[in-house]
Structure 1
Amino acid sequence: MKTKKVSPKTEIFPFQKKFLESARRYQDLLEHLPVGVYRTTPDGTIIEANQSLVLMLGYANSVELKNVNVKNLYVKREDRAEHLRKLDASETFFAEFELRCRDGKTIWGRDYPRAVFGPGGKIKYYDGILVDITQERQSEKRLASALKKLGRSNRDKKEMIRRLKSLSLTDDLTKLYNRRGFQVASRQYLELALRNKTKAFVLFLDVDNLKGTNDRLGHKAGDAALVKLAEILTKTFRKSDVIGRMGGDEFAVFPIGISPQGMNAALDRFKAQIEEYNATPGSPFRLSISAGVAGFDPESPYTMDELLLRADKLMYEQKRLKQQAGGRN
């Protein structure tokens, strides 16, 4: 008579179960994010790709996409080379470029990559997030075409051009430049600084705990805080300086032709303006600002995107130090 062999039962401990559940939730989150998430190698091999990226590029599944080398997705091969060059220099940044889908159609993507280093300091992976900005690019193209058609017209049409430009470049709430407007204006001055071999600075700011103001006093108060910050920035800096609301509670300033001493003086004026407002009796809210300043050296130049990213990192470092000291972010 044969005896039935019984396999030993594998026991899963509570901490292992909690870890597995956490891993499943994390994987589920990645798969359902509305943006593409990926991991690739320096030679272009796709190791990981979430479902949103698969659908964005028109592939049937992740296995099919992983059989494609990243280099073959770029419409312009030089975009890939420029990508890697920038990552070697700064580890993180963002860029916009065209990608080719499975059916041959092209899309515009905004990529937020990060270099992951392995032993010996060599880059092992590139992790990143890809956002489809095709509609945004198409809108800009239609706007440019409309402006070109109206460019040779009479005074009424010139007024229409002015309005179209202001709609596309100006933030409705603060009347400052929006992100696109700031980029357009600041890049021109940055190119001028490069040609003239002059140094420049970018200031990046964030309103601390704006969510708390919204929760306690309502969104109108939060909007009022953003408007008040815009007013203080306008008073602090000159009319010729480029000031923009980059989105949400983030602002940026590119002072034109300012020296290091002048930049320090401007920051002192800005701090004094914030303190003066907070000391005003009856103010419905207090303003707390975190800021970072990145310098531009024509001998070792950076793009405006790279300067903003560096200033943004310094700003978050200041915010982190505030948190450690007992402040709120």
Structure 2
Amino acid sequence: MADQGNSGNALLERRLQELAEERRRLAMIIEGTAAGTWEWNVQSGQMRVNERWAEIVGYRLDELEPICQKTFIALVHPDDLALSDAALQDHFDGRTDHYVCLLRMRHRNGEWIWIHDRGRVFEWDGQGRPLWMAGAHADVTELQRARQDAAEMRQRLQAVVDASDEVAVIATDTDGTITLFNTGAQRLLGYTAAEVVGGRRLDAFHDPVELQAWLRPLATVDGQVPGVFEALSARADGQTYSRQWTLLRKDGQRRQVRLSISRMDGADGERIGYVGMAIDITEILQARAEARLAADKFAGAFTSAALGMALVSLEGRWLDVNDALCRILGYPREELLQVDFQRLTHPADLQTDLALVQDLLAGRRTHYHLEKRYVGREGNTIWARLSVSLVRNERGEPLHFVSQIQDVSAQRSSEQRLFESEQRSRITLDAVADLVLSVALDGRIEYANAAAVRMLAGDGALSLAGHLVQDVLSLTTEYAPQSQLDVSVLLDPESNAVDLHADLLLRMGAATVPVDLTRAWLRDDEGQVRGAVWVLRDDTQQRAREREARHLAEMDPLTELGNRRGFEVHLQQAITRVERTGQAASLMYIDLDRFKPVNDTFGHLAGDAVLWAVASVLRHGVRDSDVVARLGGDEFAVILSGCSPRRAARIGGELLHTLSSLSIPWDQHQLRIGASIGIAPLAAGMSVDQAVAAADAQCYRAKAMGRNNVQVQGETSELPGGSPADGSDLGDG
């Protein structure tokens, strides 16, 4: 019996040693995975966690004790608790073998980190309820951020492709199956992306007759004709292949396009597919055909027109004239072609005509109309209505003038007699859409249009004639809205009050309306001023556009960030805010490292793409309340209101890290840059120039210390970035 007891004890001892060794191996495995482990009594809420569990959220284990279910709840993001509870319930109810949940937990430094939590019940009570669970959680913050960055990048790239709706972009895999079909392609071909992606090849849209005619010369010696996609891709393997094709829309329409096909390679240089870009040139070809038809029609119309018509050289010589012009001027065709229009133009009208010709040549006009006098062959004066346009070639260079000349001598005589009586009516009718007042020099209204009567006298009023203008019209200015303008100065021919007051307001009770006042003088038979016509136009939209123009003047057109002008305004406001509130604020000065080699190597368009990408990083890397500006070239600045230099340094480090990992695809290369960042606090009494100089000095110090780091005024340490400081990695193909 003693031997049996000793044998049993030995077996138990070995089993305990094996269990201890197994526990040691499990502990080493867990330690190697850097996972936090936990055990949880579901019914009592009691929890046991290891040191790594606490480290992941930034604590020591003793700082969290006593640890229970409430400890976990307090650390988890409120929006993720419901997800965790639902996953637990699925596991408790047997719908899942394990509890698995991706959730956020608050780190001790205040940041939210992503945790992948996994566990299972290993003990149940007598009623079949879960008693004890065990599991582990791992910090997957970097992985989650990388996924989010990748998703955002895919969305941005898709947005860029979809925004090019004037160009059809179609990508295929190596077999020719369509993998991308942008909005431009949908507009061109009439299909949705869902109808074609993954189910059609590019050659499905080609005119089959045209394709066969193109493929026939490519047949092998034994008569084998290659496949369409194979032939196209073979042409595009070495370089971009472009050709005009006929494509068939879903509705059966035929469209002429210029299609360019290029090969796409993966990061390893292996072919991954092809991309085609098509531009619809149907309308261009139609326009050319119509232009040829128009030229033929013009030739017929030129000869048979009842109006005088002429083609005139840039020097003024008649190149061709029709029979009607010969009759108007009294010259035989052969004789008329020997003179220029300057010799036939009345001397009093020549300079006006020549000035308009120069406007045409300089591009300030596309055509002009002029009533002028010609001198006929017999010395008689001929009044004519002249219409002139300039013909240019495809490069925009002037070729010759086309002139239409109508004899209006008879009409001119009768119009001269009617001119005086129609002057007032013409001036008034020219502005009937606005408030129109005809006012005598003594201030009495002689005429008011319906809009003026309704606006100034109210609905139901019939006329304002006989009223003093100052009794019905109240004008102020934007700069002195409480001071009424003396309208009598507007009736003084020597006054420039209208020119001085571009900020007029029409007072309507308690409200005011911005107006533009145009004044025209009325004269009697002797030419003396006897009154004026005023036209008041609602100027609300125009002034709003002017304000918008001032806003646009403060924007950088390339990056859509603020420019130096707008930046200095915001910086002065930030300094003033520091003086008034005492709240901290910082200025960050950013100078891109090794940006010039990008321009020198790949061109300024590549440089612009880099600047745009950097601007996007800066815009999304700071708060909406912060001001990001491009100061010029590759220099940027960020005004961080309510931000201490130390906090600004953390932000700068994050921006530097993002910029160092930034990769901009360009012409089969990946462009990369770095940055040097200087930070200085804003202080009361500081000028804009002093603030900029302080941050710039820190940026200079960052460059002197090897670039690609952050330097803060008063600090001696640097915050390194994530890319090479020498900028040697400009691109990779």
What's the TM-score once normalised by structure 1's chain length? Answer: 0.49
State which structure, 1 or 2, has the greater radius of gyration over its C-alpha atoms: 2
Q: Which has the higher helix share?
A: 1
Say which structure, 1 or 2, has more relative contact order (CA 8 Å, 6+ apart): 1
What's the TM-score once normalised by structure 2's chain length? Answer: 0.23
